[in-house]
Amino acid sequence: MSGKPPRKIHVTTLGCSKNVYDSEILMGQLEYFGAELVDEPEAAEAIIINTCGFITPAKQESVDAILEAEALKQGGNNKQIIVCGCLSARYARELQKELPAVDAFFGTEAFTDILRYLKFPVDQAPEFLYHARTLTTPSHYAYLKIGEGCNHTCAFCAIPLMRGRYRSRPISEIVDEASRLAAQGVKELIIISQDTTFYGLDLYKKQRLVDLLRELETVEGIRWIRLHYLYPTTVQDELLDVMAGSTKIVPYLDMPVQHITDRMLKIMKRGGNSRRIREIFRIARERIPNVTLRTTFIVGHPGETEEDFEALKEFVQEMAFDRLGVFTYSHEEKTAAYALPDMPEEIKEARYEELMSIQREIAFRLNEQWVGREVEVIIDEVDNEHGVAYGRTPGDSPEIDNEVILENVPTNVEPGQFYRVQIIDAQEYDVFGKIIEAL
Ligand code: SF4
């Protein structure tokens, strides 16, 4: 490795929005020191791969990305390969043995260590370096990570092994970052952490999400604030009331529950109970106008009986969630569930298919109910060649939820703009709309 920092660097990001956020911080710091971020790994002197180590398919995807980078290193060039993130945090020793072409392995949030390793003069850097950030999302929305790590011990989950205990960021630091994002044109803040309702319990010894939201609502230029990853045992009714009364916090309740029978919630070590879960969703629908309910379930978890699965299906039919994610259980070593017998993949797949087919019908029925109604839409992307634009309602988060497809749009329609749109047609997941007016 030469004594000088690489000039051209390519960053590959895998996994969740927390990883996207971390990569953006790292990229901001690299650019601060004058590195050029290149889209093509072939053109880079150093390739940094920010990996995911959550479940088997994600781990495989990360290993594949590393192998692709290794292939670019053949032929004796001095390309450097740096691996960081969750997979590396979890399996550094194993990976070092299996992937000798990788120059260095780092854990999560190891920004300064990576820059130091690449010979950037980090030690002379001013404190605000931490706040340098290069957005990789469209410039009108940005993820805002308010804390990292998790204090829960869900039986199936390896995240605490990779990300450690929950660490809230100070309110002032988060609000400061939100103001800088607004100043650079961000209109939608997407609040993320492993457990957003836990915010403050470590740092301030009490829940302070509502206080944080009240401050974020004062940030000029921000029009939408979206919450992700609420945890059932720490959701307070006060939060639902704040969401109901806010003009900026979108009516979008994302609360992964993973299962619904008390028996399974116990086996999964989720804490709480099905009565409170139902109550939160009921209160949300009663108090928050036009609220979109989003949740996720794991099927095929060790211990899940046919009866548990029947109860889960009934719950999905009864609740008719607006947005639903379903995952098959992944047998992850060092998690509590790893000690329990794993279920055959066919059973997991069959339960996944069955639950998704129930949800497809519900999703289509709910979308049909929007036909003829008007809704606020943010434009994410415009295809001028075909006169088509793609946007989202307040009930849709980027990448994971539905899209509003707008045809024959005027040429002055641009990403980041808000429009009143009439929904004219519906599909299972996406809907079609017609622009009424700019907002
Ligand atoms: S809340 Fe549970 S599932 Fe979520 S990150 Fe923490 S341990 Fe994992």
Q: Which atom of ligand 1 is nearest to the CA of 163?
A: 5
User: What does DSSP say about strands 431-438 and 46-51: parallel, antiparallel, or unpaired?
Assistant: unpaired
Residue 126 confidence (pLDDT): 58
Residue 1 confidence (pLDDT): 57
- Tell me if 248 is assigned to some domain: yes
Whether the pLDDT of residue 130 is over 70: the answer is: no
Our answer on whether the CB atom of 152 is closer than 6 Å to any ligand 1 atom is yes
Same domain, 280 and 349: yes
| Alpha-carbon span 222 to 219, nearest angstrom | 6
Q: Which of 17, 156, 157, 163 to mutate to test the pocket of ligand 1 (most atoms within 8 A of CB)?
A: 157
Residue 125 confidence (pLDDT): 63
Q: Which atom of ligand 1 is nearest to the CA of 153?
A: 7
**Distance from Cα 157 to the centre of ligand 1, integer Å:** 6
Same domain, 108 and 79: yes
Q: Which atom of ligand 1 is nearest to the CA of 195?
A: 1
8-42 pLDDT per residue, tens: 999 999 999 999 999 999 999 999 999 999 999 99
**Distance from Cα 194 to the centre of ligand 1, integer Å:** 6
299-350 pLDDT per residue, tens: 999 999 999 999 999 999 999 999 999 999 999 999 999 999 999 999 999 9
Say if pTM beats, i.e. exceeds, 0.85.
Answer: yes
- Tell me if 124 is assigned to some domain: no
Mean pLDDT of all residues in 393-407: 97
Q: Which atom of ligand 1 is nearest to the CA of 160?
A: 7
Our answer on whether the CB atom of 271 is closer than 6 Å to any ligand 1 atom is no
- Tell me if 131 is assigned to some domain: no
The mean predicted confidence, pLDDT, of the chain is 96
198-223 pLDDT per residue, tens: 999 999 999 999 999 999 999 999 99
85-127 pLDDT per residue, tens: 999 999 999 999 999 999 999 999 999 999 999 999 887 665 5
Q: Which atom of ligand 1 is nearest to the CA of 229?
A: 4
Our answer on whether the CB atom of 194 is closer than 6 Å to any ligand 1 atom is yes
Q: Specify burial of residue 77 (Cβ count, 10 A radius: 0-12, 13-18, 19+).
A: exposed
- Tell me if 2 is assigned to some domain: no
| Residue at a domain's end among 368, 399, 429 | 368
Least-confidence region, from 75-89, 195-209, 361-375 = 75-89
Mean pLDDT of all residues in 36-60: 96
In the DSSP assignment, the letter for residue 193 is: -
Q: How many structural domains compose the chain?
A: 3
Same domain, 211 and 277: yes
Please name the residue whose Cα sits nearest to atom 4 of ligand 1. 194
Same domain, 46 and 96: yes
- Tell me if 382 is assigned to some domain: yes
**Distance from Cα 337 to the centre of ligand 1, integer Å:** 13
Our answer on whether the CB atom of 154 is closer than 6 Å to any ligand 1 atom is yes
Whether the pLDDT of residue 422 is over 70: the answer is: yes
Mean pLDDT of all residues in 236-257: 98
Please name the residue whose Cα sits nearest to atom 8 of ligand 1. 157
Range of the domain at 401: 374-438
Same domain, 13 and 160: no
Q: Which atom of ligand 1 is nearest to the CA of 150?
A: 6
Q: Which of 98, 109, 137, 119 is nearest to 19 (CA)?
A: 109
CATH (domain of 106): 3.40.50.12160
